[in-house]
Amino acid sequence: MPKLRSAFASIGDRVQARPVATLLIAGLLILVAIGGAAQITSVTGDDAFVGSNPTYEAFSDSFDHGNIAVLIRGDITEPSAIEAIDRYDRRMSQTQDVYAVRSPADQVRAAYGRIPDSKSKIESVIGSPDYTTIQIATDTDLTQQQQRPIYTEAVSTSDWARFPASVTATVTGDAAFSAQLSTVIQQSTQKLLGLAVGLMVIALFFLFRGVRLRLLPIVAVFVGVIYTFGAIGYGGIPNSTMTSAVFPILIGLGIDYSVQFHERYEEELETHPPREALPNALGGVGPPVLIAMLAAALGFGATWVSTSSPAIIWFAQTSILGVLLTYAAGILVLLAGLTIYIRRWGDDSPAAADGGDPEAAHAEVDDDSRIGLVGSTLGRTSRILASHPMTVLAIALVLSGVGFQVASSLGTLADTEEFIPQDLPAYVDLQQFRSQTGGGTSTSYDVLVTGTHLKHPETLRWMDGLNDVATQAPLVEGVDTPAGAVKQYNGGEIPRTTSGVERVLAQMPTEQRQRYYNDGRAHITVASPQDMTTGQVLSFLENSQESLDYSNPPPGVTAEVTGTSSIAVPSIIDQINSRNATTGLGILFVFALLGLYYRDLVKAVAPLVPMVFVIGWQNIYMLALDIPVSPLGASLGAMTVGIGAEYTIIVMERYYEEKQHNGYGRLDAVEIAASRVGKAITVSGMTTVFGFSALILSPFPVLSSFGFLTVGVIFLTLIASLATLPPTLVVLDGLAERVAAFRAAD
C-alpha cells in the first residue's frame, strides 16, 4: 500500500509539474475516441439476448429468413392498387439480399399472365379483402445492420410504387421494428446523457460548495464518457437497450471519483502549497478511490461472467470500460485543470504561494468551519451509532433478513417487447399488423431437424405423426412439417422410397421446398397460442421439446426447438433467476480485491458488511414500490457491492488513518472519519443519485424501472455506509485487537 501511495503521489507530482501537457494528452485522446465512436453499431430486440448457440447458428444459416411486411389497406382490388403492388413486388425482388417477395399480385399475374383492368377478374382470384400484405423475405444469416438498407429501400419503394389515394401502405415487420428501435435507442442515449449532465450541474451547484471550479468534475466526466464511446466502438461492443443505461450510471460514478479528487485537493491546499498539495492529495485519495473503482468494475465483472446474454455482457463490458476511463479522466482533466486555475488566478489562503507557511495557514483555518454543519452532524451521529454497535447491527440484520425473505415475491420483467416504449410507431404498426392478420406476439416457434436420411420415408412418417403427439401437450396447437408438404404434392400419401420423396420435392416451388429442406437440414414449425405470458412461453418451449423427445425420432435424427424467441426468453429468465449467484460472485470478487490490497481480514470484510445489508434492504424497497426484477435489476446486487464499496472504503480508510497515525480511540476515530469524509461521500452519493435519476425519465420501461431502483439503492448505500459501517468497524476492530492481545500474551 505505501508503494501504491508513492506511485500516485508521483503521478500527482508529474501532473502539477506539467498540467498543460496533461490536458493536451487528454485532448488528443478525445480525437482518438471520436474515431472509435463512429464505429458503434446497434443490436435490438430478441437478437440482443441470443448468445452463441450452435443449433441456432445452424438454423439461422439454413432457414432464418428475415421478414419485412408491408400492410396494404384500402380498396386493394382496384386495378391501380394491384398494379402498384406489382411494381412494388418487382422492385423489391431486385434488391440486394432479398430472398423472395410474395404478394397478391403474384396470384393475379399467375392467373392471367398480366394485371387485368377488370376489378371483377382480380376479385375472382384474391376475393375482396379490405387489406393484404406484401411479404419480403431476406437472405438467411443477415445481421440487423445488413437488413437496415433493405428496410430503407422498402420505405422508399412504397412512395415510388405510386399507390392510389384510396390505399395506404405501412412497412412493418422485424427489420422495420429493429431499424426504428435502433434510432430511438441512439436518441434515448443522447437524451439521457443530456439529462444526467443537467442534473449533475444542479447537484454540484447546490451541494458542492466552498471549492474552486465546482462544475469542473462534469467536464472531466464528460471527457471520460467520450473515451468510453471510443473504447466500445474500437472493441466492437454494440449499443443496445441495456447498454444505453450505462452512461447515466457512468456520469454518476465518474462525478463521484472526481468529487473525491477535488475535495481532497482542496483540503490539502489549506495546509500545503500547490506543488505539494496535489501529490499529497493524489497519494492520499488515489489508492482508496482506485480500489473503489476496481470494486465497481469487479461488480460489473461478476455480471459479465455469470450471464450468457449478449445484451447484459455488453452492459457489463461498457460499464467496466467506463469506470476505468472516467477515473483516468478525473486525474488527467480535473486535477490538471484545477492546477492551471490555481496557478493563474491564485488562491486566497496563506499557503497558496509556493514557500508559504503551512502551519500559519493551518492556524487561520478553523477546523469546525472546514468540516461544516453537515460534517459535524454526520460525525456526531456516527459516534452515537458506534456507541451501540450490537443494537444497530441487529436492526440492520433483521431488516436485511426480511428483504431476503420477500425476494421471491417480486415480479419479473422478461418480455423484450415490454422493455420498449409502447407508443413507438414501429411497435404500434407491428401490433396493428398482427391484429389485422390474426397474429399474436408469437404464433409459432422453430424446430431444427438434423441427422442422416432426413428425406427417408421413415423420417417423414415420424414427422407426420408428430402433430398427434405434440398437440396432446398443453399450449401446442399444431405442427407444420415437411411431411405435410410432401403429402400435399403426392395425393395425400408419403412416397415409399427416398427417391420418390425427392421427386415430389422437386415438384415444389424452390422457395417452398427450401422452407422445409435446406443445406442438409430440415425445418419444422410448432404453432402456439397468441399473446402468451412469459411463464406460458417457458411452458410451451418445455412441452414442445418434450413432445419431440417423446415422439421417438428415427435413429440418427435429432430435433431441437430453436430460434431467437425460444432462446431469448429462457436466457432472460435465467439471468433473473441467477441474480443471487451473481451477487454472491460480486461479493467474492470484491472481497478478494480488498484482501489482496489490505492483507487484513478485518479491512477486507468491514466494507462489505453494509453492502450485504443493502442487498436485503433493496428487496423491501422494490416490493414497496412494485418494481419488477428485470435483467438489469438482476445485476444490481453485484453492482451495489462494487459501487457501494467506494463509500465504505473511504470511510474506513479515514478511520484507520485517524486511529493509527493520529492516535485516536475507536469512537473518536469514527467521529472524525465521518465528519471529515461524510460530507464528501454524501455529496458524491447525491450527485450519483442525480446521475442515475436520469434513467427514470427514459422512455424505455426497463430503464425507467431500473432508474427508480438504482436511485433508491444509492440512498440505502449511503445510509448503510454512515450508519452501519461505524458500528461494524468498532466491533471488528475491537475483536481484532483482542485477538492480537491474546496472541501477544501467548
List, for residues 211-254, the tens digit of each pLDDT value: 788 889 889 999 999 999 999 999 999 988 888 888 888 888 88
Mean pLDDT of 98-115: 92
Residue ending a domain, among 344, 365, 386, is 365
List, for residues 464-488, the tens digit of each pLDDT value: 998 888 888 888 888 899 999 999 9
Residues 166 and 289 in one domain: no
CA distance 723 to 697: 30
- Report helix, strand or coil for 13: helix
- Report helix, strand or coil for 3: helix
Residues 147 and 281 in one domain: no
Instruction: Decide if 512 is inside a domain.
Output: no
pLDDT tier at 558 (50, 70, 90 boundaries)? very high
| Half-sphere exposure for 351 (CA within 13 Å, toward CB) | 21
Place of cell 506511485: 7
pLDDT at residue 200 in the model = 80
CB 107 within 8 A of CB 126: yes
256 Cβ neighbours under 8 A, 6+ residues apart = 646, 684, 685, 687, 688
Choose among 72, 30, 59, 69: nearest CA to 522.
59
Element (H, E) at 198: helix 174-207
379 Cβ neighbours under 8 A, 6+ residues apart = 371, 671, 672, 673, 674, 675, 676, 678
pLDDT at residue 285 in the model = 86
pLDDT at residue 190 in the model = 83
CB 146 within 8 A of CB 140: no
CA distance 249 to 232: 16
Is it the case that residue 354 has pLDDT exceeding 60?
no
List, for residues 266-320, the tens digit of each pLDDT value: 888 888 888 899 999 999 889 888 988 999 899 999 999 988 888 889 999 999 9
Domain holding 242, by residue range, is: 1-38+213-365
pLDDT at residue 443 in the model = 66
Quote the mean pLDDT of the chain: 86
**What does residue 41 show for φ and ψ, rounded to 5 degrees?**
-115, 175
CA distance 289 to 221: 15
Residues 143 and 7 in one domain: no
Is it the case that residue 370 has pLDDT exceeding 60?
no
Is it the case that residue 601 has pLDDT exceeding 80?
yes
Place of cell 412461453: 537
Residues 170 and 257 in one domain: no
Task: Give me the percent of the chain exceeding a pLDDT of 90.
Answer: 41
Instruction: Decide if 300 is inside a domain.
Output: yes
Residues 8 and 136 in one domain: no
Choose among 325, 189, 320, 206: nearest CA to 258.
325
DSSP assignment letter at 49: G
The CATH number assigned to the domain holding 315 equals 1.20.1640.10
The CATH number assigned to the domain holding 127 equals 3.30.70
Residues 234 and 295 in one domain: yes
List, for residues 74-99, the tens digit of each pLDDT value: 988 999 999 999 999 999 999 999 99
**What does residue 64 show for φ and ψ, rounded to 5 degrees?**
-85, 80
List, for residues 610-628, the tens digit of each pLDDT value: 999 999 999 999 999 999 9
Q: Of 436 and 483, which is predicted with more confidence?
A: 483
Q: Of 104 and 173, which is predicted with more confidence?
A: 104
Is it the case that residue 358 has pLDDT exceeding 70?
no
pLDDT tier at 435 (50, 70, 90 boundaries)? confident
Instruction: Decide if 607 is inside a domain.
Output: no
Exposed/middle/buried for 233, CB within 10 Å: 0-12, 13-18, 19+?
buried
pLDDT at residue 256 in the model = 81
Residues 225 and 340 in one domain: yes
pLDDT at residue 697 in the model = 85
Instruction: Decide if 575 is inside a domain.
Output: no
Mean pLDDT of 43-47: 74
Residues 238 and 166 in one domain: no
**How many domains, the chain?**
2
- Angle (CA) 15-20-23 rounded to 5° is 80
Instruction: Decide if 188 is inside a domain.
Output: no
Choose among 718, 708, 652: nearest CA to 686.
718
Choose among 511, 510, 524, 512: nearest CA to 563.
524
Q: Which of 24-38, 55-69, 601-615, 672-686 has the lowest mean pLDDT?
A: 672-686
597 Cβ neighbours under 8 A, 6+ residues apart = 1, 291
663 Cβ neighbours under 8 A, 6+ residues apart = none
Instruction: Decide if 644 is inside a domain.
Output: no
Residue ending a domain, among 365, 390, 414, is 365
Residues 73 and 22 in one domain: no
Residues 138 and 262 in one domain: no
List, for residues 495-537, the tens digit of each pLDDT value: 999 999 999 999 998 888 999 999 999 999 998 887 788 888 8
pLDDT tier at 355 (50, 70, 90 boundaries)? very low
CB 176 within 8 A of CB 438: no
Task: Give me the percent of the chain exceeding a pLDDT of 70.
Answer: 94
Choose among 359, 361, 342: nearest CA to 351.
361
- Structure-block grid coordinates of residue 327: 477515473
pLDDT tier at 368 (50, 70, 90 boundaries)? low
Residue ending a domain, among 155, 179, 203, is 179
What are the start-end ranges of the E strands in 452-490?
A: 478-480
Residues 70 and 135 in one domain: yes
Instruction: Decide if 153 is inside a domain.
Output: yes
Instruction: Decide if 599 is inside a domain.
Output: no
Choose among 34, 30, 14, 31: nearest CA to 22.
14
Residues 16 and 69 in one domain: no
206 Cβ neighbours under 8 A, 6+ residues apart = none
